[in-house]
Amino acid sequence: MSNGGNVRENDTLKPMDSKQLREYGHRMLDYLKDLLPDAAPEQPENFQHVLDDITKKIIPGLTHWQSPNFFGYYPGNSSIAGFLGEMICSGLNVIGLSWITSPASTELEVIVLDWLAKLLNLPDQFLSTGHGGGIIQGTASEAILVVLLAARDKILERIGRNSMDKLVVYSSDQVHSSLKKACQIAGIYNDNFRIIKTDASSGYGIDPLNLDQAVHVDIEAGLIPFFLCATVGTTSSASVDPLVKIGKITEENAMWFHVDAAYAGSACICPEYRHYLDGLEYVDSFCMNPHKWLLINFDCSTLWVKERSALVNSFGTNPDYLKNKMSQQKNVVDFNDWQIPLGRRFRSLKLWMVLRLYGADKLRGYIRNHINLAKQFEQLVRSDSRFEIVCPTLFSLVCFRFLPYNNDNDDDGYELNSQLLDAINSTGQLFFTHTIISDKYILRFAVGAVLTEERHIREAWKVIQNQATIISNNHIL
Ligand code: PLP
């Protein structure tokens, strides 16, 4: 929570010591506990009182992801069409246990995932008309877990369950942490998780030679490479792995190839960014999050697979109480066989409404506008010699840092940049976040809120410059 507890202005100019950190941390954790009763009411309460509490107690404790001055993490878009879709979904509250529990809910999902696949120009292997198809999962983390489990079961089916400890997973060091979590759940531990190091020379994408070498070393050691996750638009810096070159390696070695484009996938509805997905013909599964940057309210993570049977083999259960003629005759899609939970929300409604009420052309314009704004911000950073751009701005994320003006700390500006970020966010005028790449503390400015306009970018930059000046002056004095 930003500005949670009256941080004194001067405190923002130096890092917190551990006593202060404990004090502020406690105040933040106790924020709601002190404001609300410790048990639910016995009798119904007045609606106006509840609403007053939302305004006075809940909203001040939230981070405002829909603010035009929100530039943190990656965006989490909301839109009127998405909101209306959510409202209808909530009102109807159909629970899609299987096709027969609400046929239109499943069928709309199949249709709308084909629509989106066509907008992204995905290879035909991912369309429902062949052996593949798409499904809406809650998050990209769920999607990666589901495909990792399916890939694991597929290979173990072939080589035997007792080969589990020979299975090896590969990714770059820029992969999202959800892969590590998925590996832990799937029973693949650190010894069998190869993290290929990246650096600035390859734009923080995987070097295929390093990958190929790692795969061969493992094969020679009697291990079995079986899963690779590449990313288009990594979490830290929006870097892109070279899919075609990686695809040749996964094909040669019969590995499951997953592509995570949670953030940048949305940009690929524009033909000029689609080339980042070249190579998807090699891919077994592909995921992007319309709930990040395609105007769909959370949650909506779209996953396509080449072989839907791989998911059904891992997740199909067919209990007696769900048996019905349509499912038994395999005439219909039962999405509960493609995912972890049984019940599912009618999430395709909001995706369908956004696509219909805005249309592909407007959506492309929406994405392009954010990318243009990010480029403008990048130009502003470049025009001030106290800052540097750290990696290319491929989409709407700008990675930059304040250059150290002395070597007192000998930490290459780590403390300075972290101090600057705290000082800027403490103004309450904008919010953005950081990452660490190659041991450097990097400031991440992610454009993508629906309401952000050019003036917000200019004003944000002014605040950043002013705080940088205060910090440098303070140091000199
Ligand atoms: N993959 C990438 C590249 C991401 O940037 C993120 C989150 O920002 C995720 C996966 C995780 O997304 P989710 O919250 O949908 O699990």
Query: What pLDDT is attached to residue 411?
Result: 79
Q: Are strands 133-137 and 301-305 parallel, antiparallel or unpaired?
A: antiparallel
- Report the 10 Å Cβ neighbour count for 212: 16
C-alpha of 178 from chain center: 9
Phi, psi of 170 (to 5 degrees): -130, 145
Give me ligand 1 centre to Cα 473, in Å: 38
What is the C-alpha separation between 473 and 477, in angstroms, rounded? 6
Note the pLDDT of residue 9. 33
The CATH code of the domain at 83-358 is 3.40.640.10
Q: 175 C-alpha vs ligand 1 centroid, how far in Å?
A: 10
Tell me the CA–centroid distance for residue 346 and ligand 1, in Å.
22
Q: What is the pLDDT of residue 241?
A: 98
CATH topology of domain 56-77+360-476: Aspartate Aminotransferase, domain 1 (3.90.1150)
* Cβ count near 372 (within 10 Å): 14
For residue 11 the two structure tokens come to 């405190």
Q: Which atom of ligand 1 is nearest to the CA of 233?
A: 3
Phi, psi dihedrals of residue 236, rounded to the nearest 5°: -75, -50
Best mutation site among 171, 177, 260 for ligand 1 pocket (most ligand atoms within 8 Å of CB): 260
Structure tokens at 128: 């429902």
Q: Ligand 1 mean position to 95 CA, how many Å?
A: 26
Can you give the pLDDT at residue 4?
34
Å from CA of 259 to ligand 1 middle: 12
The single residue listed with the structure tokens 């910090």 is 471
Q: Is the dihedral of CA 178, 183, 186, 189 positive or negative?
A: negative
pLDDT of res. 14: 46
Q: 292: CA distance to ligand 1 center in Å?
A: 9
> What is the structure's pLDDT at 344?
96
- What amino acid is encoded at 47 in this protein? F
- Closest ligand 1 atom number to CA of residue 234: 3
Apex CA 353: angle with CA 350 and CA 357, to 5°?
Answer: 145
Q: Is the preceding omega at residue 299 within 30 degrees of 0, hence cis?
A: yes
Hey, is 25 helix, strand or coil? Answer: helix
In this structure, the residues whose C-beta lies within 6 A of any atom of ligand 1 are 74, 139-141, 176, 178, 231, 233-235, 260, 262-263, 289, 301
- Among 236, 260, 289, 301, the mutation site with the greatest number of ligand 1 atoms within 8 A of its Cβ is 289
Q: Whose CA is nearest to atom 4 of ligand 1?
A: 235
* Edge-to-edge strands, sheet with 431-437: 70-71, 431-437, 440-446, 397-402, 387-389
Atom of ligand 1 nearest to the CA of 291: 15
Ligand 1 centre to CA of 117 (Å) is 19
Pocket test of ligand 1: the residue of 137, 147, 263 to mutate, having most ligand atoms within 8 Å of its CB, is 263
Distance 140 CA to ligand 1 centre (A): 5
- Ligand 1 atom closest to the Cα of residue 289 is 15
What is the atom index within ligand 1 of the atom nearest the CA of 301? 15
Judged on CB neighbours under 10 Å (0-12, 13-18, 19+), 11 is middle
Q: What contacts 24+ positions apart, CB below 8 Å, involve 432-438?
A: 432/71, 432/72, 432/460, 433/72, 433/73, 435/235, 435/236, 435/237, 435/399, 436/236, 437/204, 437/236, 437/237, 437/390, 437/391, 437/399, 438/199, 438/200
Looking at residue 429, the DSSP 8-state letter turns out to be S
Torsion angles phi and psi, residue 387, rounded to 5: -120, 160
Chain region(s) in the chain for CATH 3.90.1150.10: 56-77+360-476
Ligand 1 atom 12 nearest Cα: 140
Q: Which two tokens stand for residue 182?
A: 């998925």
Ligand 1 geometric centre to CA of 235 (Å): 7
Q: What is the CA(380)–ligand 1 centre distance, in A?
A: 28
Pairing between β-strand 70-71 and β-strand 285-288 as defined by DSSP bridges: unpaired
Task: State the closest ligand 1 atom to the C-alpha of 231, by its place in the atom list counted from 1.
Answer: 3
Q: How many residues does this entry show for the chain? A: 477
The Cα–Cα gap between 377 and 69 comes to 13
pLDDT tens-place values along the chain, 477 residues long: 333 333 333 333 444 566 666 666 665 557 888 899 999 999 999 999 999 999 999 999 999 999 999 999 999 999 999 999 999 999 999 999 999 999 999 999 999 999 999 999 999 999 999 999 999 999 999 999 999 999 999 999 999 999 999 999 999 999 999 999 999 999 999 899 999 999 999 899 999 999 999 999 999 999 999 999 999 999 999 999 999 999 999 999 999 999 999 999 999 999 999 999 999 999 999 999 999 999 999 999 999 999 999 999 999 998 999 999 999 988 899 999 999 999 999 999 999 999 999 999 999 999 999 999 999 999 999 999 999 999 999 999 999 999 987 656 667 899 999 999 999 999 999 999 999 998 899 999 999 999 999 999 999 999 999 999 999 888 765
**Range list for CATH 3.40.640.10 in the chain:** 83-358
